[in-house]
Structures are given as structure tokens and as C-alpha cells.
Amino acid sequence: MTAASPDKSAKPPRAVAKARAPKMDLPEVNFSDYGDVRALHLGTPWIQGTMRMDQPYDIDLEYVQRMMAWLLFVQPEQLKRFHAMQLGLGAGSLTKFCRKKLRVTTTAIELNPQVLHACRGWFKLPADDSKLRVIVADAAQEIKAPQWAGVVDALQVDLYDDQAAAPVLDSADFYADCRALLSEEACMTVNLFGRASSFDHSVAKMAQAFGEDAMWSFKATREGNTVVLAQRKPSRPKREVLAARADWIESTWGLPARKWLRVFKPMSLGLKAC
């Protein structure tokens, strides 16, 4: 699930709908509409994801767009064979974009069945098909299944609870399990939100699993979200290669990839965002 700070200046929502998760101790799922933007909530004002009603398959939030930075490490001709996986569905933005825009095989793992219900009913998430599968499960357990080992080419991790205080899964063992999912040239992107101390601890655990030379980071957004990227196989593409891929990403899908290159760099040995 995604985590972004609420817009305190926004007008009261035009419409609100709710769904409760039965039998499990899971938060209430609801949405609110602000103009042409629909936001997903887990029973609190914290925004767990958004969708523009007139562009339901585009990515609205800046930090969620940055979760697609793994495209900078992809050779364009290889993309068609990719398998993307999301841990945490949120409002379905990444899952929809990977399936509908990139047209790659896409798997999402979501703990709360009512989040999936909300995404299908309120956020235009397509039904499962030959290239899309949403699994209702505990991601920490599901990713250990042998069927996933080494088959994921792009992993996107965004796991926050209803209070958006810290990642729900954030141990070195968890990140080691994430690394085991990845194919040789694959990347993982992770949304980290909140205090600097929490960020440093999370990055240290990722580096323990992936190695310090595998770590890249964006600068934080205004809302406080920092997207970190970890490579299965560390590399340092030349600037002109990254620039060419940014051009490809921006011209093909409209993501602001040229801007990314100004705020996205390898992490220093001190494990702080550059």
C-alpha cells in the first residue's frame, strides 16, 4: 500500500464510500473524491493512493511515478518479456500501469481483500487475465513460495499500514527474500516515508541484503516520500545511457524521467540519500 501525506488544504470530499474487511483485524477501506482525483484511505486521512478519474491508468502521485525508476535499467527491446510484481496494492496505480501501459505480466500481492475489492470497484483495476494476477495473501509468506524464485524482473514494495508510520515489512530477512525473487538484471523499488532515523534503518537493512553498491535513491518528495532502488546485480550505467532511457520512458509513457535524473543517484557509503 502507498503512503502520502493528506492534502490539508483540499476542499471537503465530494463523495465518500466505505467497505469493511470481514473476519480479519484489518482497517476500514474508504475513498474520497477531490475534484477529478479519487483517493484511497484505510480509515484515516492518510492517502494510500490516488487516481485521476479521466486518466485511470496513469500514475498521479509523484513518488508513485518514481517507483517506475527500474525502467532506467531496462533495455527497451527486453521489456516485453518482463514480469513486474507489486507488494501492496494501494489504489492499484502501479499494477494498472504495468498491465495496461507497459503491457507486461503483472502480479500484485495484497493482504486486505477489501483493498482489492475497492480497487476493482472504485479504482478501475482490471479483472485478472493471462497477464494479470492479484493474490490476497501475506506478502512476507507468499514471496517465499518456490514458484516466485528468480522470476520477477521488477519488484515494487509499498507496504504501510493505516497510520503510515513505518513499513509493515522492513527486516533484513524480508529484503533478502525480496532479492531472491529477482532475475539477474532485476531491480526493486521501495517507498520509504517518515522520519530520517526510520529511513536510515530501512536502507541499512536493504544494503545488508543487496549490498551497498546496489543502492540508489531519489531525493524526498515534498510530502516526505523517498523512493529507494536496489539492483540484483549492481551496475553504474553511463550518464548518456540513462539519459537515452529517460527520453524513451518520457516519450513513450509520459513519466517525468528526464527530471528523475536530476534527483536520482547512487547512494553514498554513509547510506544517506544523495
pLDDT bracket for residue 160 (50, 70, 90): confident
Q: Residue with C-alpha cell 549492481?
A: 234
* Position 220 pLDDT exceeds 60: yes
pLDDT at position 42? 87
Q: What is the mean pLDDT of the chain?
A: 88
What is the spatial distance between Cα 49 and Cα 104, in angstroms, rounded to a whole number?
22
Lowest mean pLDDT among 8-22, 113-127, 161-175, 207-221: 8-22
Once rounded to an integer, what is the mean pLDDT over residues 91-119? 97
> CB of 116 within 8 A of CB of 128?
no
pLDDT at position 10? 36
What is the number of other CB atoms lying within 10 angstroms of the CB of residue 238? 8
Lowest mean pLDDT among 45-54, 69-78, 101-110: 45-54
Once rounded to an integer, what is the mean pLDDT over residues 138-158? 97
* Position 68 pLDDT exceeds 80: yes
pTM of the full predicted structure?
Answer: 0.88
Which DSSP symbol is given to 129? B
* Position 165 pLDDT exceeds 80: no
pLDDT at position 169? 86
Which residues, 6+ apart, have CB-to-CB distance to 31 below 8 Å? 15, 16, 17, 38, 39, 40, 41, 118, 122, 123
pLDDT at position 15? 43
Question: Which domains can be identified in the chain, with CATH numbers?
Answer: 55-266 (3.40.50.150)
